[in-house]
Structure 1
């Protein structure tokens, strides 16, 4: 029998007509329910076919918004309480889990489990790699009840595993434009206007520096270049321009190498610099700032908490602008960062996943002085594992240049050969151990056939007793694919 407070014959008949839509509870406190979409999808059709008036239906369903019904949602067609199908946490305290399938969205999932979208967001606030209801990923395991988030699946208790994401999602594509690129001594000069910015979402202008008075400044020769770069946004509205502070020479050489520590050392110093940054962004129409993590300056231990405080102050002063950080890819340097604290203040972090090896390996304790790729995808994977548990929005770095080694034995070929330092400078790079991509391409055009090392996804070739290790379009693509499938937020080219 149907348990109902209104037993008019017409209603009893109507209830039998839509019996396929009903779930009858044997408990007196529970109402009789109809399921949206089986077959009726509007409040009017449901209560009409149940023999109810609009007022009766509203009384049975207080707070129900008929404009937001979801397929599968239960509604009352009698007095009583809507039966709950909300999952409970597991006995061990872990939340009830649900794995997202194609076509899912939070409102539908909420309906399925008798919860709200706001509850889904709250349940997953601490779920690893949760990016919000607006960015659900097929295959993602989420919480649909209170409780501890789902554990990361790992093969053993010591080794984290990389997450998995769809490659169809939108990702950042970041480029760096170096001001000195327009005034190379070799004559290969590239102005902002010479580049098609269509594929890119962000471009970082390198570099601004810091004055002794703790003000951000730009070299006079770079001012017109930055203005021309910002002007590109007129033709490429998706493009965001960020000013990058630092540079290797500025960060490592005196008298400027200690300025990074000085800027972040106290609240007044941070405020002085940040105030100048805000004015700079406004003056040039720049969308944000990248501040580097200085990693090899033998800086004081206080730099670690001070850098965290700096990013927090910077975010307070620039609540809507882009703030990024260039961070190391190796554990030795990364341990000096409070990455888990910094990430809440920055828009994204550029992981410098290159220069894993180079001519400096001749002076590294425990490192054999042999040739190695400087952009091995195996090293990139290891770097990603350092960040993976923090759920950080990372961009993976792709190197647009080569590293070179002078071989101890010119007859040795490939990786693993003993080397004695960097290869000869190129006409454009003008430095031992490095060649620009233009120089690499010029050498290949002379008839050199590069060898692909499949394991590392890099190329190498011999150049008159030097080994050159670099990337080409297919290995860049392989690394970009790796970044996409392992949930990086994007890639950047340096």
Structure 2
């Protein structure tokens, strides 16, 4: 079974039956309210580990195209960065927005959100959120971009609100975004990148925000850098040395879940595909000069050049030393990503987040993405560039869904493929594919409509793949 979107299914049929009774006896307003409660209950009983979010920065578009993203692992692409000015106008890099990027992501069954802010691009937030007029200007411009390019939502990466007024204004912005998205009739997402400590989080009203935020992504990196007193790990899972005041992934998750009451299923663990280079001779020692960011793909070159590899079993992270022992690099590798993946599963987190896609590319491999696929999603057993040994029909995601779901399948060779949706009476609802397909990994979206293009009613449906002698059927649940 593909564990990407496992859901506790035992009570779902009873819930669907109950909603049909309620639909017949209550008006639409009350039914909608009850439906939302039931959906929240179902999702709260999910087995977590369902989202893998990847930031796709503008500056990597030229060297790492959207078709190179590993969609067998990545569920949501965050296109970074746009930013607001103080009047609520939206600013982007001149070569950033491209409808081909969005269509490529969608063709692979993933979603794409437009991310705002980031370090160095957050100066316009205080002015933009400060009045009803500037917030509305921002929202109007955002919806225009969504309509023009096909984005599926917004990611907010304001680093960071610093006053009580900004706290309240950010909450108002998110409330108004949700109202505007609901009024649009589209299921646009609202997500947010957040820091791992009270220093970064004190001016976020998480209790008020959470009602309208689909998920948060904790930035589990930059625990040490030019600002810190010692050359520590970039993204330690646990504090090393123990009690290090600069913190760790573990202290960050505890802060957000235990102290700020963010539901674990709404929280993604962010992992860095880059490291920090210090001028120092030892881990946790003093350092001099500049601290440099270094991508994982460049770290591999240092390993190939003979730098010494060390594993910190307290931090659960590696580091490198050069032969002269005067330069040190802290970073994440497939083993540390495995440790963090297991931690995310144990803490029942809703997903993992990557900064940034393309930073781990080496030849035809994306080692860190593949480690997340193998150890977090548990549905990934070979490099993405290799063909599967057999035909595979994956579980659709999300499941339950309304109204859109993604169906993925894999072919070991070119073949004629037939994928059909049936109702529980065995009647054909929709033919999704009937034609030749190439070997490899494929995905498609279904919008809960029949062959005539009309929307169908809530219930349990079956989707079947037939190719050669291979036939397999799986169940999915449509909620309305």
Q: What is the TM-score normalised by the length of structure 1?
A: 0.59
Aligned match for 1:327, one of 183, 194, 216: 194
Per the TM alignment, residue 300 of structure 1 is displaced from its structure 2 partner at its CA by 3.8
Over 3 Å counting, the alpha-carbon distance change for 1:134 and 1:288 in structure 2 is closer
Aligned match for 2:250, one of 372, 378, 381: 381
The aligned runs of 1:6-155 (5 Å cut-off) are 105=11, 132-133=41-42, 135-136=44-45
Match of 1:401 in 2: 274
Kindly tell me the number of residue pairs found equivalent between the two proteins: 316
Match of 1:264 in 2: 129
Distance in 2 (CA, whole Å) between partners of 1:437 and 1:274 is 37
Aligned match for 1:181, one of 49, 60, 64: 60
Give the alignment's Cα RMSD to 1 decimal: 3.0
Unaligned 5+ runs, structure 1: 1-101, 110-115, 138-165, 184-188, 252-256, 362-368, 423-431
The answer to whether the Cα contact below 8 Å between 1:359 and 1:404 also exists between their aligned partners in 2 is: no
Q: Deviations over 1:124-147 (max 9, x none)?
A: x8xxxx95135525xxxxxxxxxx
Match of 1:277 in 2: 142
Unaligned 5+ runs, structure 2: 1-7, 16-21, 23-29, 239-247, 356-480
Aligned match for 2:154, one of 262, 272, 289: 289
Distance in 2 (CA, whole Å) between partners of 1:179 and 1:471 is 23
Q: What is the TM-score normalised by the length of structure 2?
A: 0.61
Per the TM alignment, residue 433 of structure 1 is displaced from its structure 2 partner at its CA by 2.1
**SS of residue matched to 2:96:** helix
Match of 2:370 in 1: none
Over 3 Å counting, the alpha-carbon distance change for 1:480 and 1:247 in structure 2 is same
Distance in 2 (CA, whole Å) between partners of 1:370 and 1:419 is 6
Q: Is the aligned partner of 1:248 residue 2:119?
A: yes
Distance in 2 (CA, whole Å) between partners of 1:330 and 1:172 is 23
Per the TM alignment, residue 420 of structure 1 is displaced from its structure 2 partner at its CA by 2.4
Over 3 Å counting, the alpha-carbon distance change for 1:107 and 1:197 in structure 2 is closer
The answer to whether the Cα contact below 8 Å between 1:174 and 1:204 also exists between their aligned partners in 2 is: yes
**SS of residue matched to 2:95:** helix
**SS of residue matched to 1:221:** coil
Aligned match for 1:217, one of 84, 91, 105: 91
Over 3 Å counting, the alpha-carbon distance change for 1:322 and 1:468 in structure 2 is same
Over 3 Å counting, the alpha-carbon distance change for 1:384 and 1:131 in structure 2 is farther
The answer to whether the Cα contact below 8 Å between 2:112 and 2:153 also exists between their aligned partners in 1 is: yes
Q: Is the aligned partner of 1:342 residue 2:220?
A: no
**SS of residue matched to 1:360:** coil
Q: Deviations over 1:174-206 (max 9, x none)?
A: 1111111135xxxxx222233332321100011
The answer to whether the Cα contact below 8 Å between 2:85 and 2:125 also exists between their aligned partners in 1 is: no
Per the TM alignment, residue 246 of structure 1 is displaced from its structure 2 partner at its CA by 1.5
Distance in 1 (CA, whole Å) between partners of 2:320 and 2:169 is 44
Higher normalized strand content (fraction of residues): 2
Match of 1:467 in 2: 328
Q: Is the aligned partner of 1:195 residue 2:69?
A: yes
Q: Is the aligned partner of 1:390 residue 2:262?
A: yes
The answer to whether the Cα contact below 8 Å between 2:153 and 2:188 also exists between their aligned partners in 1 is: yes
Per the TM alignment, residue 104 of structure 1 is displaced from its structure 2 partner at its CA by 5.1
Per the TM alignment, residue 280 of structure 1 is displaced from its structure 2 partner at its CA by 0.6
Q: Deviations over 1:240-263 (max 9, x none)?
A: 000101232222xxxxx2x11011
Per the TM alignment, residue 448 of structure 1 is displaced from its structure 2 partner at its CA by 2.4
Per the TM alignment, residue 309 of structure 1 is displaced from its structure 2 partner at its CA by 0.7
Over 3 Å counting, the alpha-carbon distance change for 1:231 and 1:417 in structure 2 is same
The answer to whether the Cα contact below 8 Å between 2:86 and 2:127 also exists between their aligned partners in 1 is: no
Per the TM alignment, residue 173 of structure 1 is displaced from its structure 2 partner at its CA by 0.6
The structure showing larger relative contact order (alpha-carbon pairs under 8 Å, at least 6 residues apart) is 2
